[in-house]
Amino acid sequence: MSFSADVKAELCRVPLTKSCCALAEAYGVLLFCASFTARELRIITGSKEFAERLPRLFRKAFSISFDRVEDNSSGSKRSFLITDTQKIADIFSCFGYDAGSSLAHHVNLGILSEECCRISFIRGAFLAGGSVTDPEKRYHLEFATGHLQVSRETFSVFLELGFQPKEVVRSGNYINYFKQSEVMEDLLTTLGAPVSAMAIMAAKVEKDMRNDINRKVNCDSANADKIVSAAQGQLDAIRRIERVQGLQDLPEKLYETALLRVANPEASLSDLAMLSDPPVTKSCLGHRLRKLVEIASAMPDN
């Protein structure tokens, strides 16, 4: 299963205990489902767990059953339908709507006066119209509805719960979305999916560890390149001095340093300092090598 399917499966394990919360969750489902009109109510899902929850949810919320359930041709999704006009009228009435009048859907915030009901509403919205990307790839959680006013008012519900989504319009849908992993973790925990929230947290920790390792490897590689480049420049300088005037004319300490570098072409300054006889500091050895480079630079090209 996808990560999104796992999240929905976990949310479907939240018990349906309070009638007010069942009504709020069903409200979220209906406002984010495929079709919620006076002629037809249609909920389409590919989640086995959500398909099992829907009949129980509607019995708890409305004391009604679906008129029929249809499988699509591939069998991967199921459609739950209500076409009975009286059932639809009863459902509309629960939310303060008149099924007989033309209207643009909106969120009746009076039904969501309690925090538990607001959480249940958002849970239903996610089950019907939500998705979340595998956190191993990227962080993105969204709620999509075809109703502009529903999207805007759902935004207000999020704010009341302490979350501030971003908004976008995509392919005719109005979307509230989140991209911060910490916010996604908090939201899923609030909705009743703490295991999924932990999975996002674990993925973030793993990503951070990989990035940290990569940074260290890149840093070590860069440092190694610098050491090799510096050593090559020192060796070139020593060879130039030897070719032009000979190393024997160098002061004793510089002469010893030149021989030490030639004998250990890949050693770091720290290693060369320890190999000196007697050992010297890294700063002291670096000063001597820079002096050799300066002497070579001052020599004529011929």
Look at residue 103 in the predicted model and tell me its pLDDT.
63
Q: What local confidence, expressed as pLDDT, does residue 302 receive?
A: 56
Full pLDDT tens readout for the chain, 302 residues: 799 999 999 999 999 999 999 999 999 999 999 899 989 999 999 999 999 999 999 999 999 999 999 988 677 899 999 999 999 999 999 998 887 775 678 899 999 999 999 999 999 999 999 999 999 999 999 999 999 999 999 999 999 999 999 999 999 999 999 999 999 999 999 999 999 999 999 998 888 888 788 888 888 777 777 877 887 888 888 888 888 888 888 888 888 888 888 888 878 888 888 888 888 898 998 898 898 888 888 887 65
Residue whose C-alpha is closest to residue 164's, from 175, 155, 152 = 155
Q: 179-182 long-range contacts, Cβ below 8 Å, gap at least 24? A: 179/139, 179/140, 179/141, 180/139, 181/135, 181/139
Cis status of the peptide bond prior to 278, with omega within 30 of 0? yes
SS3 184: helix
Whether the predicted model's global pTM rises above the 0.95 cut: no
Closest CA to 21 of 164, 104, 123, 128: 123
User: Helix count (H) and strand count (E) of the chain?
Assistant: 11, 8
Question: What pLDDT is recorded for position 102?
Answer: 53
Res 75: pLDDT: 73
Positive or negative, the CA dihedral 292, 293, 297, 302 is positive
177 three-class SS = strand
pLDDT given at position 194: 95
- Cβ pair 158, 176 in contact under 8 A: yes
State the Cα–Cα distance between residues 172 and 166, nearest whole angstrom.
Answer: 17
Asked if 119 contacts 161 with a C-beta cutoff of 8 angstroms, the reply is yes
Asked if 24 and 112 count as a contact pair (C-beta separation under 8 A), the reply is yes
Tokens read off for 247: 């190393």
H/E run at residue 62: helix 48-62
pLDDT recorded at residue 276: 86
Order the strands of the 166-170 sheet from edge to edge: 130-132, 141-145, 173-178, 166-170
Contacts of 275 (CB under 8 A, 6+ apart): 260, 264, 267
pLDDT at 36: 92
Q: What pLDDT does residue 105 have?
A: 86
Distance CA 127, CA 49 (A): 10
